[in-house]
Amino acid sequence: PPHGHAAGSAIKMLVRPERVEVASAGAGENVFAARVLRDRFFGATRQIEVAAGNGRLEIETAMRDHVANVRVPREAIQFLNAR
């Protein structure tokens, strides 16, 4: 496999918040419907925590739009052993 882990093995995904993108539905691979859990403004940026799929993601963005979907680019994902 491209990520170096056997099929069926337990893994964790690591994604830097600035690499998660606000997206429109159907905007390519790795797009998830998102529900905003927390939204904090810090001047020119905002930090948003969303529930997406079975997990939570943090986003760092300058966008001021409503967040309904997020995209995690394949090259932004690091896979780690779950143990």
Query: Count of residues for the chain?
Result: 83
Task: Report how far residue 51's alpha carbon sits from residue 34's, in angstroms, rounded to the nearest whole number.
Answer: 6
pLDDT in tens, 44-69: 999 999 998 888 888 888 888 788 88
In this prediction, residues 20-35 reach a mean pLDDT of 84
Ordered by start, the domain boundaries in the chain are 11-81
Mean pLDDT of the chain: 84
Fold topology of 11-81: OB fold (Dihydrolipoamide Acetyltransferase, E2P) (2.40.50)
| 42, β-bridge pairs | 45
Q: Looking at per-residue confidence, does 4 or 10 come out higher?
A: 10
Q: What is the DSSP code (8-state) at residue 76?
A: G
Going by pLDDT thresholds of 50, 70 and 90, the confidence category of residue 1 is low
Q: Which of these, 11, 10, 27, lies nearest to 79 by C-alpha position?
A: 11
Task: Report how far residue 69's alpha carbon sits from residue 40's, in angstroms, rounded to the nearest whole number.
Answer: 18
Q: Give the per-residue pLDDT at 3.
A: 62
Q: Which of these, 60, 67, 21, lies nearest to 44 by C-alpha position?
A: 60
